[in-house]
Structure 1
Amino acid sequence: MIPYKLALKNFLSYKDDQEPLDFSDMHLAMLVGANGHGKSALLDAITWALWGKARAADDELMHLGSAEMQVMFEFGLENQRYSVVRKRHRRGKTSKSMLELSVWDEITGAWQPLTETGVRATQRKIEDILRMDYDTFVHTAFLKQGQADAFTSATPGQRKDILGKVLNLAQYDDYSARAKEMAKDAEQKAGALSGQVQEKAEELGREAAYQEALQRAKAAEMQTRFAKSEADAATSRAQLALKTLEMKQKERDKLADRLARSRTEHQQTETALQKARQRLEKLQEAASKQADVAVRFEQYQEIQAQASRWNEMLAALRPLEQEAQTLQRELDRAIAAVQRDAALAQKQLKDAEIAVAAIPTLAAKAKQVAAEIADLQAQQDAIQARRERLLGLKGEESRLNQEMERLKNAAADLKERLRLLEKGETDACPVCHQPLGRDGREHLQKEYEEEVASLREQYQQVQKQMQALLREQESLQNANRQAEPKLRSLPALQKQWAQLEARLEENRAQEAHLDEMRATVRDLQVRLETGGRPDIQEKLNAVQAQLATLHYDARAHAETRQQLASLQDVPALWQRVQDAAARLPEEAAAVAQLQGRWQREKEALSEDLAELTGLDEALQALPEARRAWDEVRGRQEEAHAAWERAHGALAAAEQRLASLQAVREQHKRLEAALRDVRSVAARYRHLQEAFGPKGIQAMIIEAALPELETEANRLLARLSDGGLQVRLATQREKKTGGVAETLDILISDELGSRPYELYSGGEAFRINLALRIALSRLLARRAGAALQTLFIDEGFGTQDTHGRENLVDAIHMIKDEFALILVITHIEELKDLFPVRIEVTKTSAGGSMYRVS
């Protein structure tokens, strides 16, 4: 992975006002700047873009006062150019992340998207391309600030995990897990098959019992079949007798229904005859009044003609009255509209004059609020700068704690050696175990005392640095606590300023239309004085003149209506009299017809009643026939049920015997399948162990360790002038006996082997650097992940002048094996040792900026 370009927006101390950082022409570069100015933030941006991880949580990486941040990182890998853009938006208490991945297409000259559905899927795609995760990166190519000893200080188990990732051993864990799962499935199948084999064996052992049950079933079936035949014959005889009587019962029921209907119909005929006689009498009475009604009907027709003439006159009058009313209402509305327009225009003019008078006051208030906003924004930038400084101080605090712990351990070791020498408990050197004379012991004792005094002085200096750092942290935190409450009023002031500006713009717009509004008021006053609408008044006068020419008498019209109302029932009476005279012959014939039907129905009723009496006498034997039928049918059902049970038992007994042959074949097949499945389960358990940590993985690590050890010692010899050497041990003896699997780091110098913790900061960093570079080379050769970039974040501060020169020489020695080596430090004296210099500084607003030289 080779970096090409890095662009930051609102990330930690970097805003969005700087060109992207271009790595294209860099090979060996130094990133330099004071502590807390933002050097490590650039590397945090790279790891956050690629893996979503950095020194702090996502929301804490966002620049103070910002609601979004973004990092764009372009890199090359295996002749391909990739671009990763990671974004984060914050809205209220919720945050959302986005991740985009693209590859450069040389043919089209454009970026082609590789983004998957969702952030997680796209993250897996990036890690597949890089062939490493974040942990592998920081343990190989990235010596992170305060974590240079991440590999050496890890436990043996953690070191094996790191080597496993470097050697791509995760696939063997997957193979082992898959073999375990498949073995478990095979064993579960074997358990199920074993139960089935046992079940079939038990079934075959019941053959003799099945034969005996078959003979018993045959005898029972024959006996029940004979009893069933006898019951069927008795049932048939009883059924015939019952059906004969039931047919007569149906005939009797039909006759009774017909008789009931006939009685109803006869009653209906009698009622209809009575009603017809009454209608005939009424028609005869109405026909006798025909001459009297004719005189009244003639009088009604004369009065109706006079009412029609008055109605025609009234029809001509109504439209003219409606038109006059319509014109009067239109004239009233026109006058009212002009009055409303005049009142509204007067009010708008008054409001506009008030708004124009308020313009100077609003402008002064807007200027005052803008000044307050500018002051609060300046305080906000100062708070952000102090937060960035606090982030840098946290890293420095971690480094000082490590240095104090190292000095304490080194002093304790020297004091123990000094105690042995002072008490004379040993005549040999506590380190190399060589014999010491009196002069040698005094010389070594003096040397130890000087080293202890030096370590004490170094510890006190570090303590002073720590105290100064803590005081600065407290001062920055106090300053932020005092300033942050003031910022809460910033949104309200910004809203108030926007409202004031909007009101000013509106009032100035009204000022521009003031003369026009005054002219409108004068025009409307003139229209009110002239009466509104003269044209409508002229039309109204003409309609009123037409109304005066009509001679309609409303009183006479009313009297005619009253006379007509008093005779309103005459037309209907005249119609009834005429209808009665016409229907009289027809109604007389209907009465004669109904009289004949009534006599015929009476004779038919007498005949049906005699037949019903005869059937009732014959049906007296029906209850006994039904009792006999129920009795024989019950015996028949019992006989049939007994035969069906016996027949079913016989069929089941025959089926059980017939199925035993199929059971024998199934038993044989199940036994063979059980043997096969057990064999498969055993093979999968063997594969599970072979692919596990103690199998192939252990062999691969054991084979890779000599390469890692040789590479580390080759570089360490250059870094320490041959004074340090590393050995990686995979086994150690247990106190209880036997050998334990491990991965220990053993370090030796001219005084012998010592624990890693007892080496000085400079020596420890050289050891860490050698192992890290060896790991990165091993990763490039074994895992297929081309590590062409090396990041070293701090470490020179722990070296003396000679150690720094050795480190620089070592970096120059390996520079041809990397496309880019980037060293991060705050030591200005090293700037001339690197051809490219990226200088990071703080701006006056509290942000960070970089410059390449």
Structure 2
Amino acid sequence: MQIKSIEIEGMWSYRDPQQVVIDGHPLVVGVGENGAGKSALLVAAVVAAFYAKFPTKTVQESITTDVPQGRVSVEFEVNDTLYRVSRTFTRKGSGSAQVLVADPSTRSGWRGVTEKGVKEVDEYIVGLLGMDYQTATMTWIAEQGTYGKFAESLPSKRFELLSQIFGLDIYTPKAKAAKAAADAAAILVATVDGKLAELSGTMDAADGQQFDLDGMTDKQLSKNLSDANDDVDRYTQQAAELNATDPARQTVEARQAYELVRNDRVAKLTAATQQVERAELAIGQAKNRAAATRAAAEARFTRDLAEASTRAERIREQATTQRRAAAEQKLKIASAERDLPTFVDEVTASRETADDARRSADAAFQKAADLRGAVAQLRAESATAKAAVADAEARISLLEKSAADTDHAECFTCGQHLSASDAAALIELQRDAIASLKQKMLDLRDSGMKTNAAAEAADAERAAHLQAAKAADVEADRISTAMASLHALIGSKEQADAAEQAAAEAFQQSSKDEDAWRRQAADAHSTQIAAADADEQATVDAAETELSSARAVAAETAEPTAKETHLLEDLRAAEALVAGEASGYNERRIELERLRSEARRLVTVYSAEEHRRTEAALLRADQEDRLAALRVEKADAQREILINMTLMKAFSPAGIPAMILNTVVEQLNETVNSSLERLSNGELKVELRTSRENTNGTPDNKISVYVETPTGVRAYETLSGGQRFRVNVAIRVGLLESISRGTGTPIRSFILDEGWGTLDEKGVMSTIGTLFRLSEEMNVITVSHIDSVRDAFPARVEVVMDGGTSVAQLVA
């Protein structure tokens, strides 16, 4: 993946849209005053576009003040395919996002590969790049203050970071799941132990219980129960034979025969009466229902007629409105046709103004360059004069010293003896030369200041011309946008004519539709009335037939029949005979009932005992089965504990992850040192060492960083700033290459946000060299406010605040 361009609007200090195209520039530095928006454009916008992460706590804090929404967009290339990821962030809601791929066959040149869903875009980007935000900030994105995120972490934290990057953290939930399963199995073992103890106690208590018939064998119990049942049957038979001779029995049979006939007649009379009432009610309900249906049909007919008129009137109003809108549209089209030539002239004039301003800016730039060359020349002349002054002062000092030590002086050029007067004259000549040179230096300084001021004025003139060119371009773009609107408006002329024609046709059709709707309403009304009449007639006819039949049955069953009268006379004769025949019958019946009751009691007692013994045997067998099942369940749970404790150890950081990480670290050492050899010209070599256990055998998952330098092997923490920087960049590049091998997506962009301020001058120069070498493999983007860094880079993005918004420009 290689970044081609970055676009931002409404985010941080970028109120207006800004775009920088860095394609073709392998080494770019963002420069500008603090707070101008360097990091926001070159770092934060990239992170927000790819991963929707922000340097602020909330997205709302990142959106420009008083702006409803912000937008970022990054164009990038993956395996020779050009993509664009765009995200829009709002103050409320989740915003929108989309990934597009370059497609020349479309009008816009882009084709969407995702819908406008944030979650879908997040997943697509991670899949396309082969890494999430956490991995990106460990490799190709060095956010401010975190360029040494891996090496400067604690050794145990380094282990966690590599585990996350290479997906080894998937074993953490597995270890937790194994521990939870082992804990659950341990709880199950304790629960089963409790159940075993409780069941054993219950069985022991049951074995100690005593019952009244414990001395009776099962065989004796079975015989006694059979004898008691035989006694119940014998006493029941004797009672039945006695009842057959009961004087009152004939009376009971006569009453039953009479009541059977009478009840049948009364039931038929009651049913017929109820049927008469139902038929009369059905007739009344049918008439009421028909009347209600006719009323509803009339109301519906009235509403349908009114609705037909209303719908037709609404269509006519819409047609009138449409005709009026079409006429207004045609007026606007005519006005657009008149205004279009003027807009064309204005665009041409604005473009010419912009071109003139840019040519003036180029001239001012050349003028400033010439003036700065003159300033450099003046500084060189001043330095020459200053050296001549120093030389003259040295000669005077030599003459004065030689005259003081001897009675004569020595010439400073040939070494011959000079008289005192000659030496004094020569000293005076040198002093005159010094005065002349110093005056020349003052004149050169004044000329330099004036020339430098002129150069700064030329710079200001250039900036003013560039601003004027930008304003002219903006005005031309605005007019071009307006022209596009005019073209679109003129192109809608046929649509306006068609709309006007359609409105006229709709107006005429509304009257025809109204007549049709009225006919439909009349037909529906006639159908409803006819259906109501037919339903009423059918219901009344059926009810009257039922009413006639029910009245005939009621008349037939109103009086007792001859059979009923005869049975009543037989009942009264039987009651008269019962009064004198009840002597010893009751005493014999009572005795038989007592004997049968005693026999039944014995049957109950013996049956209960037999049932108890059967239930006790079944319960004992069930308890034995439960004991066996609990013992099996306990053994299974103990095996589950052993299995899950083994899995928990295997899935823990000291288990499988550490084994895999050992192999990863070996490969990582190779890729890191391959990169570090290029970045440090072979001066440094890194060794990442892993440790998994302390001397006492407890887990101690750590990764230590050692560096072989020209002075010997040293811990990372003891390196100089420049050395640490190169090591950190190498680790990031090594991680990047290791991950890219697995994903098949090489990352060819590297972003470094600040980090220069902590380096001394030597460290700065070393870091610049490192990034230059790194740019031979990928495009490097960094941000700095240090002048030496800015001047060292071949391309820079200059960011300034202008009118309340950040403005960015690529200078190469």
**Which entry has the higher C-alpha Rg, 1 or 2?**
1
For normalisation by structure 1, the TM-score amounts to 0.47
Q: TM-score, normalised by structure 2?
A: 0.49
